[in-house]
Each structure stands twice: as C-alpha cells, then as structure tokens.
C-alpha cells in the first residue's frame, strides 16, 4: 500500500505547485486536486517532500468555483448574517479546519459550527444561536491558513463519472493515501485537534472514502495519461 502512495506522490511532483495568490482562469474546468500543507512531510524517505493532506474534485464545470470556495476569493462571501450561510457552509474543507480551530481553543461555539445553515429549516430553528461576529473571526483565520499554509496540484480530468464517487478515480486516490502507514501527520498538525476521529486517525482533511480500494496498475496507467495531458495543456 505504501508503495502506491510513494508512486503517487512522485508522479505528482512533476505538476506545477500552486500557491496563493493565483489566477483562477488558469485552472481547469474539471479535475482532481491534491492539497499540501506547510510542515506536513511524507514518510517514504529522508527527503522532506510535502505529503498530500486532502484530495477532492467537483461537479462538472465547477473546479474553479470549488477552489474559489476553499480560499474565499470573493470578498462578498464574508457579508453574511444570521440568516445567510457562512463560507464554511460551501466548503467542507473550511468547515473541518474551523472545527479543529474551535476544538483546539475548547470553544463551545463548536456546537453551533456543526449546524448546517444551508437549509431553511435549520436557519429558522437555530439562527438565534449564531454569533456572526465570532464566525467572521474564525472564517478570517481559516482564509489566512489557506493563503499561507496550503498549496495544491491538479490533474485535468474532464469526465465526471471517471472522477467522482465510489467508482471514480477520486475514491481510489483517497484510499491510496489513507491506507499508507508511513505518511503520518506532524505533532503540530492542526488536524490533530479535530473532533472528527477519521481526520485525526488518517492525517487527512477528509472523512469520506478513506476505506476505498487503492489504485492498481491499470489506474497508474490512467493517472500517467492524465498527468501527460495536464502538462501538455498548461
């Protein structure tokens, strides 16, 4: 299992590593992304190569907007109120980072953070519990973490069925990283404070698809093809 993880990390090394700030227009419309985090190192050799901490994709045509939601590159998204969802409601990645921040601070507001305010029913029921001043403070912390600590690579993959779901390449990629016993989080990794067992135990900002079957030799051929196509189109 660890050999596949090492292979995947090394294959992706040839792709551009994207740091904030970046031009959204230069990203593909469809693809799979691989996030790296400052201070998080792979376990396959003494070389200090960054380890993958999250893998994800998006619905057809929404890759750029997915990345935009993670980084909150639209200032208007911060103009929310008690009856309007905050940015973390549009990005489970941000929600998970916020969970870890609140848990680390032992802040009881974690209870409210967990509520899904994208539904009208929950907004009607629980909006009186919200402290939007505090939420905006947390959202700014999350954005700062993204801008300073995270970078990403991507594979351009156009077909949604090929990318997504339990039968798509996304699940196999996640399974490959999650099954690796060598790529462990650092002692200072923020995810160690997550209230989600699966995040703490996996060392990934993920709770779904962690038990997926890792990539096989046929998948490696496909990944190599996607890599070549991505490099040719950049």
Low pLDDT (below 70) residues in the chain: 1
Total domains in the fold of the chain: 2
Dihedral, 187, 190, 192, 194 alpha carbons, nearest 10: 170
Q: Which long-range contacts (CB under 8 A, 24 or more apart) does 123-131 make?
A: 123/83, 127/82, 127/83, 128/82, 130/82
pLDDT recorded at residue 195: 98
CA-based nearest residue to 178, from 214, 223, 153, 220: 214
Q: What is the largest CA-CA distance in the chain?
A: 54
One domain, residues 27 and 142: no
The per-residue pLDDT for 166 is: 78
Residue 196 maps to a domain: no
Residue 194: inside a domain: no
174 & 215 share domain: yes
43-82 pLDDT, tens digit each: 999 889 999 999 999 999 999 999 999 999 989 999 999 9
Read off the DSSP letter of residue 24.
G
In this structure, are strands 150-156 and 31-41 parallel, antiparallel, or unpaired?
A: antiparallel
pLDDT computed for residue 233 by the predictor: 84
Entry pTM: 0.96
User: Is there a single domain that holds both residue 91 and residue 64?
Assistant: no
| Residue 198, in any domain of the structure | no
Residues 21 and 63 in one domain: yes
- The verdict on residue 193 lying in a domain is no
Q: Give the pLDDT of residue 1.
A: 60
Strand partners, 37: 150
Q: Which domain holds residue 224?
A: 2-71+150-188+203-233
10 with 114, same domain: the answer is no
The pLDDT, as a whole number, for residue 234 is 73
């Amino acid at each position: 299992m660890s050999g596949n993880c090492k292979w995947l990390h090394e294959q992706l090394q040839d792709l551009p590593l994207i740091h904030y700030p970046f031009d959204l227009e230069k990203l593909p419309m469809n693809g799979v992304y691989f996030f790296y985090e400052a201070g998080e190192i792979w376990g396959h050799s003494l070389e200090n190569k960054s380890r993958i901490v999250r893998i994800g994709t998006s619905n057809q045509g929404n890759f750029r907007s997915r990345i935009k939601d993670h980084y909150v590159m639209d200032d208007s998204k911060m103009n929310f109120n008690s009856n309007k969802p905050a940015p973390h409601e549009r990005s489970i990645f941000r929600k998970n980072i916020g969970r870890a921040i609140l848990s680390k601070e032992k802040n009881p507001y974690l209870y409210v953070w967990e509520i899904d305010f994208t539904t009208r029913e929950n907004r009607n029921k629980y909006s009186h519990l919200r402290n939007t001043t505090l939420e905006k403070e947390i959202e700014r912390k999350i954005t700062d973490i993204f801008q300073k600590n995270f970078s990403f690579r991507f594979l351009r993959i156009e077909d949604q069925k090929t990318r997504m779901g339990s039968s798509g390449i996304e699940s196999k990629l996640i399974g490959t990283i999650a099954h690796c016993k060598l790529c462990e989080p650092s002692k200072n990794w923020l995810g160690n404070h997550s209230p989600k067992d699966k995040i703490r135990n996996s060392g990934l900002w993920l709770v779904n698809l962690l038990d997926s079957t890792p990539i096989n030799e046929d998948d490696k051929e496909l990944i190599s093809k996607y890599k070549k196509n991505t490099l040719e189109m950049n």
